[in-house]
Amino acid sequence: MEKLIDKLEKSWSILLNQRSRNYLLRSKIDQSIAITNSNLTASFLGNQQMANHNTADIKYCLKKIVKKNSAELDATELNVELMFMKHQQKLNKRLMENSKALMSAIEQLQQAHQRVMKTNEEIVSFNLSMLEATSEIISTDELPSQMRLDMDDTYTEVEKIEKGCLLSDKVLQKLITQMEEISVKNDVLSKELSNKREKIIKNRDHITGVRADLSIWTK
């Protein structure tokens, strides 16, 4: 009996430690999702729109300069338009590809949410079964059938739990390691985002200067 109680305590300590580590992992996952979404929004609504604005001003300046300096104006203007059309076509394709990837990510998050809801249902069902078992004990002064295992059967069940815990520990450690790698990559991407923004702003300053002095090349 004492040996079984010790085994139960050991198994509980392992289970509770796993629960803590799982919630810590989930916390890091939620944090990473938030950072990723923030970076994604900043890249699209911030950096990409600024870069597109730069493109529009470059096109404006280039057409003005071409109009003033080209010997074959019509052909040159068409070539300029063609270059920007090809660029826009490429952007449209990238937008579609990125939207497809994001839709796939949304579907995976929806599936994860469904699994969370299923887990919640399992908790509710277990709690209900324990309430029913409690009521049965009160009303009959007897244990429900699922609580009538003898020592040998109980020992066997606890051993099954221990083996399951060992397997779960290995999987959990791999997930934690993978999550750390994802966090590091998020940091790298955040720095890259800032660097690209600085480059776009630098280009913006240069374009602003060209447009302000455009009359020099178009008189």
Span 146-190, pLDDT tens digits: 788 888 888 898 999 999 999 999 999 999 999 999 999 999 999
Q: For residues 66-91, give the mean pLDDT.
A: 86
State how far the Cα of 186 lies from the Cα of 42, in Å rounded to an integer.
14
Q: For residues 45-68, give the mean pLDDT.
A: 90
State how far the Cα of 96 lies from the Cα of 9, in Å rounded to an integer.
55
State how far the Cα of 24 lies from the Cα of 18, in Å rounded to an integer.
10
| Encoded tokens for 197 | 């923004």
The domain spans of the chain are: 2-218
Query: pLDDT per residue over 162-174, tens digit each?
Result: 999 999 999 999 9
